[in-house]
Structure 1
Amino acid sequence: MRHRSLLILTSALTAGALTLSACGSRNDKKDNESDSGKTTVVIGVDAPLTGSLSALGQGIKNSVDLAVKTANEKNEVAGVTFKVQSFDDKAVPASGQQNATKLVGDDEVLGVVGPLNSGVAQSMQGVFAKADLAQISPANTNPALSQGDDWAKGDKKRPFETYFRTATTDVIQGRFAAQYFYKNAKKRKVFVVDDKQTYGAGLASIFADEFKRQGGKIVGTDHLTVKETDFAGIASKVKSSGADAVYFGGQYPEGGLLSDQIKKAGAEVPTIGGDALYDPAYIEASSQSNDGDYATSVGYPLEELESAKAFIENYGKQGYSDPYAAYGGYAYDAAWAIIQAVKTVAADNDGKLPDDARAKVTEALGKVSFQGVTGKVSFDEYGDTTNKQLTVYQVKGGRWESIESTTFKD
């Protein structure tokens, strides 16, 4: 990796102008200096931009793009022009790892937003950590990513100092769901299914443990494989189990089909799942009515937040072909956190971006605190968001509607 070109303040500091240091340059203009004389800082994006989860991935990419455009228009960091570089991981860990290597190789990249999938994040974390390059996921919820593999035993150790997230973990979401469906929805017998992936299996396990702790009974468990479409066998087991609900740990493409086939099998029980079900595509995947199905998701509905009004309005003005979807607000806040960290690093270094800017940005992220689109944005000692707001959604009349939002408390 090339050393980052140094910036020094000129005598025209009051005008906010930054000029290049004369040392270390092979040309009249530094490699990372734009034609305007400003330093280019790239924010990378990694998400599934094609495939069955592209609706979520495009929303993430567009929301980061909006944050960068806003920062440039406001001249948020004097002397810096932000740009976006996006990569498609197709929700495949190997692709994510390759993308991480490419992002690390570009020394203009000072932070990355993504990925969507926890399994993909596992393949990327080590690559970023070796290069001191910070990543902030707007969607990862598996607790091991930030608290280590032994988190469930109470032995929490942060594996990578470069990893952050603006979405709360499944420790919170899974327990929140179990408590709601036992206490509020009065469910007592649940059949649990997962897709054997990092996110789905982890969330289902946390839900099941908490549901049993509340006094409920897990009447059966099973697994399905991502991209399969025939779940008749599972649907038959659900019907014979006497379950009054099904909890599915997985994504909306399989979740919608599973709900559809359970109802076709004659089991008139709701399917319950996490934030990866909360998308219109879940409803579209089913030929049967999904009315009565539930999903929990991180945060409060953006449409109900005063803090999100400007984001929603500005997103609409850009004319993006895809909606911001479930994680748009969290992606915007993740990008803005990186922008604020860059701002802090420059301010703390007399207006310069130092050679070790990546490490300094990572350090600054741990101290970031601001009111974002989704509410208060800050991180704890594990890099997890301090925002523990969650919402329960239910399908009513063929669309998702929020039915309860709260801040989770043990």
Structure 2
Amino acid sequence: MRSTSLYKMSAVIAVGALTLAGCGSRGGSPSSGSSTGGSSGGTVVEIGVDAPLTGSLAALGLGIQNSTDLALKTANKNNEVPGVTFKLVAKDDQANPTIGQQNATALVADSAVVGVVGPLNSSVAQSMQQVFDQANVTEVSPANTNPSLTQGPNWQTSPVRPYKSYFRVVTTDKVQGPFAADYVYSDLKITKVAVVNDGKTYGAGLAGTFSQEFKKLGGTVVVNQTVSDTSTDFAAVVSAVKSSGAQLLYYGGEYPVAGPLSKQLKGGGVNIPLMGGDGIQDPTYIKLAGAAAANGDYATVPGAPISTLASAKTFISNYNAAGYSAPYAVYGGYSYDAAWSIIEAVKAVVAANGGKVPSSSSDFRQKVEAAEQNVSFDGVTGHVSFDQFGDTGNKQLTMYKVENGAWDNGVKVGTFGG
């Protein structure tokens, strides 16, 4: 996801299979600020987290924080980088780009921070990227899907990487939107859709790539509207959709709006499914829509269902055993992998420096940033590596459906356009 408005090392890092056993994490989720897992002694290296830890998207943000915390505690317990103890520094951006930029400035000012996991929202990432890049602080998002973050504003015609410090472990809306459009047209045999978005970076971008591909396939967009992310009354949208003959409503945005929109759509007598992206695939969506209205609705999420992956079994077991107060949610496995990628980069830098952390914090940051580009390992969500833009090589997506008041385990897993 996601939005609330709209490099290189000479040696390739060879990394063994990721080991998750013995997480050493107990108790509730860490509070915003700093926390340290099981200590392996030596130099303290900080990894930040930036996500909405309070507010309407906290269910997703806390999963990001907790999963990052678990990765750091696992690394400390296993002495993953001899002589280094990893410490978490968590920041709450409240899904607000201005706060996100302030958090980025604070994290950069802390010389012990070499990398950051996050943010959740694409528009928050836009406000942070330059701050991190100027300081060579590695940023790895487990959730951002807007293509421009890695390939620039002209990503459709002339992709250019704007910031070498920015990476992500989820595929982009360049793939997610068309994957959804193809499912609607080819699998559901639907030819007329209404498209609504919240006008923000993630929502508008996702709706745009969906619409473009749907029309390319031969479908028709009979309604195309934008609503505010603070909207609560969707009577005008419902009326327009009802008179249009649309067979499905595609929504670009997040569950705080999507849930009530689905509820009012069905309540207004428009009994068609609502479909969205990863921004709506959370139990909160069903609570807001009501189980009856949500049943039959769809959502795409980057990656295969984590509950079905053999590579995620230990992560899930350790997360549940850790006693966190919030679930790992849709981005938990990706957050663990994002954190682990920074840990691997730190490991490579320390190994190349005679087993010691570079004495200069600026030098350390530059070397970690360069090492991140060459990270390659088998993680919770699959193989983790980055292309020349900082994008993941994992292009898998899953289509989920609400059945009997809950998201199913995925009605289709696949890719689009490679």
Q: Same fold judged by TM-score > 0.5?
A: yes
Give aligned-pair identity as a percent: 57
- Hey, what does 2:46 align to over in structure 1? 42
1:101-250 equivalences in 2 (<5 Å): 101-152=105-156, 154-250=157-253
Deviation at 1:37, TM superposition (A): 5.5
1:312-391 equivalences in 2 (<5 Å): 312-354=316-358, 355=360, 356-391=363-398
For residues 366 and 221 of structure 1, what CA distance do their matches in structure 2 show? 39
For residues 50 and 60 of structure 1, what CA distance do their matches in structure 2 show? 12
Deviation at 1:185, TM superposition (A): 1.1
Deviation at 1:178, TM superposition (A): 0.7
For residues 165 and 68 of structure 2, what CA distance do their matches in structure 1 show? 19
Q: Write the letter of the residue equivalent to 1:375.
A: G
Secondary structure at the counterpart of residue 145 of structure 1: helix
For residues 246 and 385 of structure 1, what CA distance do their matches in structure 2 show? 29
Match of 1:85 among 86, 89, 95: 89
- Hey, what does 1:29 align to over in structure 2? none
Q: Write the letter of the residue equivalent to 1:142.
A: N
- Hey, what does 2:305 align to over in structure 1? 301
CA, structure 1 residues 358+228, in 2 after alignment: closer, same or farther (shift >3 Å)? same
Instruction: Report the TM-score when normalising by structure 2.
Output: 0.89
For residues 311 and 196 of structure 1, what CA distance do their matches in structure 2 show? 36
For residues 132 and 35 of structure 1, what CA distance do their matches in structure 2 show? 26
For residues 229 and 327 of structure 2, what CA distance do their matches in structure 1 show? 24
For residues 409 and 123 of structure 1, what CA distance do their matches in structure 2 show? 30
| 1:52 equivalent in alignment to 2:56 | yes
- Hey, what does 1:9 align to over in structure 2? none
Deviation at 1:349, TM superposition (A): 1.4
Larger Rg: 1
Secondary structure at the counterpart of residue 401 of structure 2: strand
Q: Write the letter of the residue equivalent to 1:371.
A: D
Deviation at 1:35, TM superposition (A): 9.9
What do residues 210-251 of structure 1 show as CA deviations (whole Å, max 9, x unaligned)?
000011000011111112211111111111110000000000
What do residues 181-212 of structure 1 show as CA deviations (whole Å, max 9, x unaligned)?
11011111010000011000000000000000
The answer to whether the Cα contact below 8 Å between 1:194 and 1:250 also exists between their aligned partners in 2 is yes
* Residue ranges of structure 1 left out of the alignment (5+ in a row): 1-33
The answer to whether the Cα contact below 8 Å between 2:40 and 2:79 also exists between their aligned partners in 1 is no
- Hey, what does 1:395 align to over in structure 2? 402
For residues 35 and 179 of structure 1, what CA distance do their matches in structure 2 show? 49
- Hey, what does 1:64 align to over in structure 2? 68
Secondary structure at the counterpart of residue 210 of structure 2: helix
For residues 371 and 187 of structure 2, what CA distance do their matches in structure 1 show? 41
| 1:404 equivalent in alignment to 2:408 | no
- Hey, what does 1:280 align to over in structure 2? 283
The answer to whether the Cα contact below 8 Å between 1:289 and 1:398 also exists between their aligned partners in 2 is no
Deviation at 1:407, TM superposition (A): 3.2
1:1-12 equivalences in 2 (<5 Å): none
For residues 416 and 223 of structure 2, what CA distance do their matches in structure 1 show? 27
Instruction: Report the TM-score when normalising by structure 1.
Output: 0.90
Q: Write the letter of the residue equivalent to 1:399.
A: A
For residues 381 and 39 of structure 2, what CA distance do their matches in structure 1 show? 35
Deviation at 1:36, TM superposition (A): 7.6
For residues 260 and 227 of structure 2, what CA distance do their matches in structure 1 show? 11
Deviation at 1:370, TM superposition (A): 0.4
- Hey, what does 2:293 align to over in structure 1? 289
For residues 168 and 235 of structure 2, what CA distance do their matches in structure 1 show? 37
Q: Write the letter of the residue equivalent to 1:407.
A: T
Secondary structure at the counterpart of residue 284 of structure 1: helix
What do residues 241-281 of structure 1 show as CA deviations (whole Å, max 9, x unaligned)?
10000000000110011111111111111001000110000
Deviation at 1:180, TM superposition (A): 1.1
Q: Write the letter of the residue equivalent to 1:297.
A: V
Deviation at 1:352, TM superposition (A): 2.2
Secondary structure at the counterpart of residue 289 of structure 1: helix
- Hey, what does 1:96 align to over in structure 2? 100
CA, structure 1 residues 325+35, in 2 after alignment: closer, same or farther (shift >3 Å)? closer
Deviation at 1:290, TM superposition (A): 1.0
Alignment length (residue pairs): 376
What do residues 95-128 of structure 1 show as CA deviations (whole Å, max 9, x unaligned)?
0000000000001101000000000000000000
Q: Write the letter of the residue equivalent to 2:277.
A: G
Secondary structure at the counterpart of residue 317 of structure 1: helix
The answer to whether the Cα contact below 8 Å between 1:272 and 1:295 also exists between their aligned partners in 2 is yes
What do residues 42-80 of structure 1 show as CA deviations (whole Å, max 9, x unaligned)?
010000000000000000000000000000000000000
Secondary structure at the counterpart of residue 279 of structure 2: helix
1:237-276 equivalences in 2 (<5 Å): 237-276=240-279
Q: RMSD of the alignment, in Å?
A: 1.2
What do residues 325-380 of structure 1 show as CA deviations (whole Å, max 9, x unaligned)?
00000000000000000000011111122221111111111100000000000000
What do residues 152-173 of structure 1 show as CA deviations (whole Å, max 9, x unaligned)?
2x20000000000011100010
For residues 264 and 39 of structure 2, what CA distance do their matches in structure 1 show? 58
